[in-house]
């Protein structure tokens, strides 16, 4: 099992322990919240194009349904493990509670390398995976969505498989669907856009203006590139971006639109004209106002936290900072906006999509962006208030707020039987 995944679950449990102490959480609620409600491990035999049959392993975890149906993405990545899925589903529980969505938290994943699979192989694997997790998912039970290396295409396959097996169309079973089968306007840009809204609030808090700051972004996928485009539009100087192949840097600023065009042609941002090539590790240590880790987890660690040279760290990826690094960052006076707040825009517009699917009533893009902005601003304000009142770092403050809401829901419902 990749070491980082064990660490991720450990990190999440240590954070929960801290929060339990701050909240003086009842012992039995703490015990409950240390474990997921339910997990399913499935085997996914899939016919490959070369005539062989490969058996993949998949997971779906419902961490908590205290506040509503489980909600969270499905990830395709070679490093996916049960521990990682559990840790990510715990984060989803806090994330939904923090921004006040009527959802619990869930997550799923398949250990596979989508970069080495054809579209047909991915389709067959996704359909079989859906059939295997069918007992868990459903619009009132558990609603999957995109995550790392999954998107609207995979959501369409899941929606269709589920619908075929039920015998009628069930668009509310997933979010992040393509627009023509009940997807929502603005869902594809929601994570990046939401992150930008939270960044604006953070900058306002420090009396800084988005048009007067520099920013480095690790990860140029859906979230990172949308945030980059949006920030560029308001005058932020994007000095570096990266993908899995490496990073590009120009202290005078980069144009995300050009980088995207280049990446579309070549598969990477590395080599784009007018930029210096640096490594992903070097990007994290660049001098800038805002550092945005928007790739994978555990990239800011004990080893490099002392060298982070930014005023604000905006965690667009899930779990990019280890517990040890968190402490160093806080002690150094760097303002860290944690993942469950910074990237909550995705699941927020997923909520809007789910509501639209259930009510068969479509919202305009303006309605969606305006509501998203309000929810992100409120999330930031609520967290900052707790941070100030209780003298906590933003990570602990957001989790204190979220865990308290989940704990209250458990108490309000009472225990069955
Ligand atoms: N995978 C995204 C996240 O980690 C979105 C989840 C969703 O929309 O349900 O927040």
Q: Tell me the pLDDT tens digit for each residue of 298-344.
A: 999 999 999 999 999 999 999 999 999 999 999 999 999 999 999 99
CB 16 within 8 A of CB 90: yes
The pLDDT of residue 63 is: 98
Ligand 1 binding site (Cβ under 6 Å of any ligand atom): 71-73, 145, 147, 175, 318, 343, 346-347, 350
Please give the structure tokens belonging to residue 131. Answer: 């059939």
Its CATH architecture, for the domain 189-342, is 3-Layer(aba) Sandwich (3.40)
Ligand 1 center–CA 411 separation, angstroms: 26
Centre of ligand 1 from the C-alpha of residue 290, in Å:
23
Separation of alpha carbons 277 and 271, rounded Å? 7
CA 134–ligand 1 middle distance (angstroms): 19
Closest residue by Cα to atom 8, ligand 1, is 347
Tell me which residues are annotated as active site.
107
Map out the domains of the chain as residue ranges: 36-172, 189-342
C-alpha–C-alpha distance, residues 170 and 358, integer Å: 9
DSSP characters over 296-352:
-SS-B-TTTGGG-B-SEEE--SSS-B-HHHHHHHHHTT-EEE-HHHHTHHHHHHHHH
Alpha-helical runs (H) found in 207-297: 222-233, 256-266, 280-284
Q: What is the pLDDT along the chain (417 residues), one digit of tens a residue?
A: 566 666 889 989 999 999 999 999 999 999 999 999 999 999 999 999 999 999 999 999 999 999 999 999 999 999 999 999 999 999 999 999 999 999 999 999 999 999 999 999 999 999 999 999 999 999 999 999 999 999 999 999 999 999 999 999 999 999 999 999 999 999 999 999 999 999 999 999 999 999 999 999 999 998 999 999 999 999 999 999 999 999 999 999 999 999 999 999 999 999 999 999 999 999 999 999 999 999 988 999 999 999 999 999 999 999 999 999 999 999 999 999 999 999 999 999 999 999 999 999 999 999 999 999 999 999 999 999 999 999 999 999 999 999 999 999 999 999 999
Phi-psi region of 271 (alpha: psi -120 to 50; beta: other; left: phi over 0): left
- CATH fold, domain 36-172, is Rossmann fold (3.40.50)
Beta bridge partner(s), residue 243: 246
Please write the tens of the pLDDT for every residue from 89-148: 999 999 999 999 999 999 999 999 999 999 999 999 999 999 999 999 999 999 999 999
Instruction: Quote the CA–CA distance of 151 and 75 in Å, as a whole number.
Output: 10
Total Cβ atoms within 10 A of residue 196: 27
Residue 373 to residue 197: CA distance in whole angstroms: 6
> Same CATH fold, 189-342 and 36-172?
yes
């Amino acid at each position: 099992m990749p070491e980082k995944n064990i660490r991720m679950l450990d990190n999440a449990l240590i954070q929960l322990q801290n929060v339990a102490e701050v909240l003086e959480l009842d012992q039995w609620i703490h015990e409950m919240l240390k474990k997921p409600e339910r997990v399913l491990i499935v085997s996914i035999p899939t016919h490959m194009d070369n005539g062989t049959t490969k058996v993949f392993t998949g997971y779906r975890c419902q961490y908590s349904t205290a506040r509503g149906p489980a909600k969270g993405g499905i990830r395709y990545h070679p490093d996916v493990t049960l521990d990682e899925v559990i840790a990510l589903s715990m984060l989803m529980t806090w994330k939904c509670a923090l921004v006040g969505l009527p959802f619990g938290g869930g997550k799923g994943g398949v250990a596979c390398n989508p970069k080495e699979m054809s579209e047909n192989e991915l389709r067959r694997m996704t359909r079989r995976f859906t059939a295997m997790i069918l007992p868990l998912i459903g619009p009132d039970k558990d609603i999957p969505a995109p995550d790392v290396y999954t998107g609207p295409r995979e959501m369409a396959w899941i929606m269709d498989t589920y619908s075929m097996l039920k015998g009628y169309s069930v668009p509310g079973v997933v979010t992040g669907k393509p627009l023509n089968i009940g997807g929502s306007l603005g869902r594809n840009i929601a994570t990046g856009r939401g992150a930008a809204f939270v960044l604006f609030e953070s900058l306002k808090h420090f009396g800084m203006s988005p048009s007067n700051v520099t920013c480095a972004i690790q990860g140029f996928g859906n979230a990172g590139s949308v945030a980059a485009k949006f920030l560029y539009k308001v005058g932020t100087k994007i000095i570096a971006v990266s993908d899995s192949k490496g990073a590009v840097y120009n202290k005078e600023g980069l144009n995300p639109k050009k980088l995207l065009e280049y990446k579309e042609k070549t598969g990477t941002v590395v080599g784009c004209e007018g930029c210096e090539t640096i490594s992903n590790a070097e990007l994290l240590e660049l001098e800038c106002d805002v550092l945005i880790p928007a790739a994978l987890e555990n990239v800011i660690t004990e080893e490099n936290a002392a060298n982070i040279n930014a005023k604000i760290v905006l965690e667009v990826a899930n779990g990019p900072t280890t517990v040890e690094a968190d402490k160093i960052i806080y002690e150094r006076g760097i303002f860290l906006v944690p993942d469950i707040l910074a990237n909550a825009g995705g699941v927020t517009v997923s909520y809007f999509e789910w509501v639209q699917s259930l009510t068969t009533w479509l919202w305009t893009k303006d309605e969606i962006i305006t509501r998203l902005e309000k929810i992100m601003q409120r999330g930031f304000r609520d967290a900052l208030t707790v941070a100030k009142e209780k003298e906590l770092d933003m990570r602990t403050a957001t989790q204190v707020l979220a865990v308290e809401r989940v704990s209250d829901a458990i108490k309000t419902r009472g225990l069955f039987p």
